[in-house]
Amino acid sequence: MFLEPAVTPRVIPGIAEFARGGLPAAADTDDGNTWTDGYCWLYCGQRWTRVLWIGPVSVAGAQAAMYACGPCIRALQEAGLAVHTPSR
């Protein structure tokens, strides 16, 4: 007989609401992600703010790490969700 050790289930913020049909919250500072101080590569262009790595960017064969601040990540999430949300 195989017995699994007792493990406390982990809850990822936003997942439970998402599973109930809600939308996951956008990343925000002090949310447990690895934020750093730096330049926001998205809409606002702030030069020194809290930013989160959002993935690599490739341009003309070169790659760089892309970072964005909390407000720009929320704007990007809203734009992405608007594409897949039916109009009312």
Write the pLDDT tens digit of every residue in 26-52.
777 777 888 899 999 998 988 899 999
pTM of the model: 0.65
Residue 6 has what pLDDT?
A: 59
What is the rounded distance in angstroms from the CA atom of residue 73 to the CA atom of residue 41? 10
